[in-house]
Structure formats: structure tokens, C-alpha cells
Structure 1
Amino acid sequence: MNLNDLSSLMERRQDGGRSFELFRTDPALANLRWPDDVLRDFLFEHGDHGPFVDDYGHLELSAITWTLQTIPTVNFHTMPTGESEAGLIEHVAQHPVHWVKVRPPEVGRHWEDHGTWLRPPLLIDRRLLNPANSGLQVLEGRTRVGVLRGRLREQLHVAPQHQAWVGRP
């Protein structure tokens, strides 16, 4: 099953103003045993977003296992994102304070208090991609990773490690 196989589910979500609670119980997702955070960010929020589908539409969704992991800050320094969104992380990194200010206030407080994001981003093992590669790639959460890079550059408080959902084969 890939994103194209779920196109009718995505249409129903849009047309019916479907809530995430209804979406996550749809029979089309029964074989996916993904955490709710991943289902929400990957499929519910981005499953029909054109550039996202261009980059990840080929993935065999049922072959991905997601775990919440702690990733060292240094690993995010050069971590890429999908080809269709290339440059977005660095664009955000140029103005990290702005990108935090346009979010709800608790996001900024969390960065100040903890030096990290409020919600873990989604990273994908690049062996799952076509062409396959090594390392991790930012699947969803490009703004968060951009803020992290920008805060580092501006010498603002950044934790030494961060939580992220990591999808692996």
C-alpha cells in the first residue's frame, strides 16, 4: 500500500471534513500499525500534498516501522529533506525567531525552556527511498529542523538531543 492507494481516503477526508479520530479508524488503514502522531503528520496532514506525494508516494507504507528515538543535535546539521522541498530547511533556518513567533506561544516557550521542539518530527531511513541511500531524511517537520539549525547558528539555547519519530524498514 502506498499513498496513491489511499487517494479515495484522502478525498473522503477533504470532502467530509473528516476528523482525525474518524480518519484513524478507517478500514483502509487497518494494516498500518503506526502511532497516532505518525498517522496524523504523515497521512492525515500531508497524504495528498503534491510535493509530499511526489517525494514519498512510492513508499510501501506497511513496510515501515516507526519508533520514537532520541537523535543527537549534530545529526540534524546536514540532514536532507525530500527533493521537492529542497532548500526549505535552510530557508527557515535564516529566520528561526520568526518561524517560532508565528506558531502558538507554547512552541516558543518550549524552545526557550527545553531547547527543542514541542512535537517530534518524522524522519525516514533513506534505505526506504528511491534511489536508496544511507542516513536519515526529514519527512515531516522541516520547519522544526530549520528552527533548530537557525537557533544553533544564532547561538540560542538548543538541547544536545531531540525526540523524533523514525521510520525504518
Structure 2
Amino acid sequence: MNLNDLMPLMKRRQDGGLGFERFRTDPALTGLSWPDDVLRDFLYEHGDHGPFVDDYGHLDLSTITWTLESIPTVDFHTMPTGESEAGLIEHFAQHPVHWVTVRPPQVGQHWNDHGTWLRPPLLIDRRTLNPGGIGLQVLEGRTRVGVLRGRLREQLYVASEHAAWVGRS
């Protein structure tokens, strides 16, 4: 199963007749035992986004297992995102305070209190994308990772580790 196989489901979501609760129980997703956070961010929110499909449309979704992991800050310093949106993380890193203030107030409060994001981003083991790949790649959460990089650059409080959902084959 890949993103193209799910396009009829994405179309129903686009048409507005499919909220997340109904989406997550759709028979088309029966083969996936993914956490709701991952289903929401990967498929429901981005499963038909053009650049996202360009970068991840080839993946066999049924072979990916997701675990919530603690990732050291240093690992995010140069972590890439998909080729179709290269440079987007650094775009967000240029104005980290702005990108936090346009979110609900609890997002900024969480950064100030805990030095990290409120919701874990999605990362993917690059070997899942390419057998010769090394390290992790930001699949979803480019704004969050950009804010982290920008906060580091501006010497604002950043925790030493951050929760992230990590997908591996």
C-alpha cells in the first residue's frame, strides 16, 4: 500500500465528508497499525500534498513501524527533509519566534517551559527511503524543527532531547 493507493480516501477527505475519526477507521487503512498521531500527520493532513507525495509516494506504508523516541538536539542540526521541500526547515529557522507566536498560545508556553515542541514530529529512517541512506529525515514537522534550529541560533532555551515519532521498515 502506498499513497497513490489511498487517493480515493484522500479525495473523500478533501470533499469535507470525512473527519479524522471516520478517516482513521476507514477499511482502506486496515493494513496499517499506526498510532493516531502518525495517521493524522502523515496521511490525514499530508497524504495528498504534492511535494509530500513526490518524496514519499513510493513507500510501502504497510512495512513502516512507528515508535516514539527521544532524539538528541544535536541530531536535528543538519537533519534534512524531503527533496521537494529542501530549504523549508531553514526558512522557518530564520524567524523562530514568529512561527511560535502564530500558533496557539500553549505552543509558545511549551517551548518556554520545556524547550521543545508540544507535539512530536514525524521522522523517517533514511534507510526506509533508500537502502544506502544514513540517519533520520524530517517527514512532517518542518516548522517545529526549524523553530528548534532558530531557537538554538538565537540562544533561546532548547532541551537536550526531543520526542519524535520515528518510522522504520
1:19 aligns with 19
2:165 aligns with 165
1:70 aligns with 70
Amino acid at match of 1:26: D
Amino acid at match of 1:52: F
Confirm whether residue 96 of structure 1 aligns to residue 96 of structure 2. yes
1:84 aligns with 84
1:130-145 equivalence runs, <5 A? 130=130, 132-145=132-145
* Alpha-carbon distance in structure 2 between the residues aligned to 1:32 and 1:38: 11
* Alpha-carbon distance in structure 2 between the residues aligned to 1:124 and 1:140: 9
2:57 aligns with 57
Amino acid at match of 2:48: D
So what's the TM-score if we normalise by structure 1? 0.98
So what's the TM-score if we normalise by structure 2? 0.98
Structure 1 residue 15: Cα displacement: 1.3
1:115 aligns with 115
Structure 1 residue 17: Cα displacement: 3.1
* Alpha-carbon distance in structure 2 between the residues aligned to 1:95 and 1:148: 11
Unaligned stretches of 5+ in structure 2? none
In angstroms, what is the RMSD of aligned CA positions? Answer: 0.9
Q: After the TM superposition, which segments of 4 or more aligned residues of structure 1 sit over 4 Å from their partners? A: none
Distance 1:60 1:157, change over 3 A: same
Unaligned stretches of 5+ in structure 1? none
Amino acid at match of 2:124: I
Structure 1 residue 152: Cα displacement: 0.3
Q: Deviations over 1:90-148 (max 9, x none)?
A: 01101100000111100000000000000000000001114741100000000000000
* Alpha-carbon distance in structure 2 between the residues aligned to 1:103 and 1:17: 26
Identity of aligned residues (%): 83
